[in-house]
Structure 1
């Protein structure tokens, strides 16, 4: 006959062993927080998604928790903001968002579903990026001076493609037209890819896009980048002058992307994420990857991001209001 106490004793022994193993486990493993999410308001595969995944991979070590990327594409990032608003303010959900959320949308939309200051708690600027003017098949110009001369002779043909109306590219084009004295017509596309195809096919005379989207087409000779909006020449295309070098110092400025927390997130939580973010953005391999993509890592304080956002809004508000443009 089997010993009636055999099975209970076995369960007791297994339980005791499990307890001893748990006690011997590393303290970090026991203390690890649940997975965190970084919301991205754009589709997988794009530059924002790529940057978020680079950060998530490194942040999991700095924060001692799994960090996932959660794509919520649509409405230029505003859908992701709505998700952020509904998220708990405990550090479990953050968002990587574009500068337009703070600097443009408050002036292009009559009604926003969020308060750009209250609902977007600054964590840190992730990176900044230049805009650039490019030409394609027609006209056959090789520099900014030639493009301006052509535009003045052919004002009815002078236009600029943009990935979407109401984006920073759109208003850079307005400033460009005002500066050179030619009322250039904006031509909106559904993203950078179809815009580049139209430029290469000679269907538009120029385009304005983030530099990262133009580096490879320029290197391959499919497009020509004429000028960049940064104060210094871009390291990716050192042969291309800035707008200021080309005689247009008023066309200078950088876009940026940043990490935000939900409203009412405790300062201690924000500080923890900011410090981890700064460490990641200082890593040589991370810096190299972002620079190769056309982005310059930043990684400064929440206060720096708040000031950057306010300064950007101050710059674009009069431009947008003078244009009369509304996205509603």
Structure 2
């Protein structure tokens, strides 16, 4: 069995894939390998799985974004989630946060809002890419609060953190995994977490939804498993069962939580429903922005 990942080795999705592969080898006796196929914002990996035999031996481990936001931002795609793939399982949530430098004058998101209203033109928010959920969450946050916010893309989490700590950008949003250590070390201050529930790693930090703002309720990415359309239902059901069981194993959960991931282990029907719900949530926000991806 091949688990296809659209990112280079070492990232959060690669960590998930290798944790699952190790458990599946032990539980099934099969030879399970992780194949990293980065490129074109994971579309290289998606295309390779789309063209693979529909026998359950080639599984895409992918982010929700290419199936939720890409159909809304790309003028043309070579795949369709409903036509080309079967969602097998929702495996983990990828929490995101809003942060600032520890030296910033604001301690809460409300204080930030007051500060930026007094600082015209200082509503820049750093992030690592345009066209993703965090980009549109920033736009939605600006609309909800009546504060013009400008997403500022960086080429990776390292440069983003450097500018954030140095005070060159007043606010940033990124994955919890890239910010948690800095928060604990006192270099950045996490003001809010995304989603609808507080994060177990930061129980003292509120969600924006608690503050009456829905803009980041769907900002969490998630990783799931997908196979080509036409895969026999019995094969899909067996994969679903095996993957859901894998992410419930204590050793796998520990590995994932260390990587800043929240294991979920939901079935394929739940994954498909989430994709539809999120696409409908983002559709009017993306359309209002006028943004189109060009790569």
Residue 235 (str. 1) matches residue 235 (str. 2)? no
Match of 1:303 in 2: 269
Residues in 2 aligned to 1:149 and 1:91: alpha-carbon distance in whole angstroms: 53
Residues in 1 aligned to 2:157 and 2:81: alpha-carbon distance in whole angstroms: 26
C-alpha change, 1:247 and 1:155, in structure 2 (3 Å) is farther
Residues in 2 aligned to 1:269 and 1:62: alpha-carbon distance in whole angstroms: 16
Question: 1:105: Cα distance to partner?
Answer: 0.1
Match of 1:112 in 2: 77
Residues in 2 aligned to 1:213 and 1:168: alpha-carbon distance in whole angstroms: 17
Instruction: List aligned pairs for 1:87-166, cutoff 5 A.
Output: 87-136=52-101, 139-166=104-131
Residue 72 (str. 1) matches residue 33 (str. 2)? no
Residues 231-256 of structure 1: per-residue CA shift (max 9 Å, x gap): 22111111211112334245323321
Partners of 2:73 and 2:292 within 8 A in 1: yes
Q: TM-score, normalised by structure 2?
A: 0.95
Residues 202-241 of structure 1: per-residue CA shift (max 9 Å, x gap): 1111111122221111111111110011222111111211
191-200 vs 247-256, which moves further: 247-256
Residues in 1 aligned to 2:215 and 2:15: alpha-carbon distance in whole angstroms: 32
Question: 1:162: Cα distance to partner?
Answer: 1.1
Match of 2:133 in 1: 168
Question: 1:67: Cα distance to partner?
Answer: 0.9
Q: TM-score, normalised by structure 1?
A: 0.86
Structure 2: gaps spanning 5 or more residues: none
Question: 1:195: Cα distance to partner?
Answer: 1.1
Partners of 2:59 and 2:227 within 8 A in 1: yes
Larger Rg: 1
Residues 15-58 of structure 1: per-residue CA shift (max 9 Å, x gap): xxxxxxxxxxxxxxxxxxxxx11111111111111111111110
Residues 59-94 of structure 1: per-residue CA shift (max 9 Å, x gap): 112332111111111222111101111211111110
RMSD: 1.5
Question: 1:138: Cα distance to partner?
Answer: 6.4
Partners of 2:93 and 2:223 within 8 A in 1: yes
Match of 1:313 in 2: 279
Report the number of matched residues: 293
Structure 1: gaps spanning 5 or more residues: 1-35
Runs of 4+, deviation exceeding 3 Å: none
SS at match of 1:78: helix
Residue 281 (str. 1) matches residue 238 (str. 2)? no
SS at match of 1:118: helix
Residues in 2 aligned to 1:160 and 1:93: alpha-carbon distance in whole angstroms: 39
Residues in 1 aligned to 2:27 and 2:240: alpha-carbon distance in whole angstroms: 11
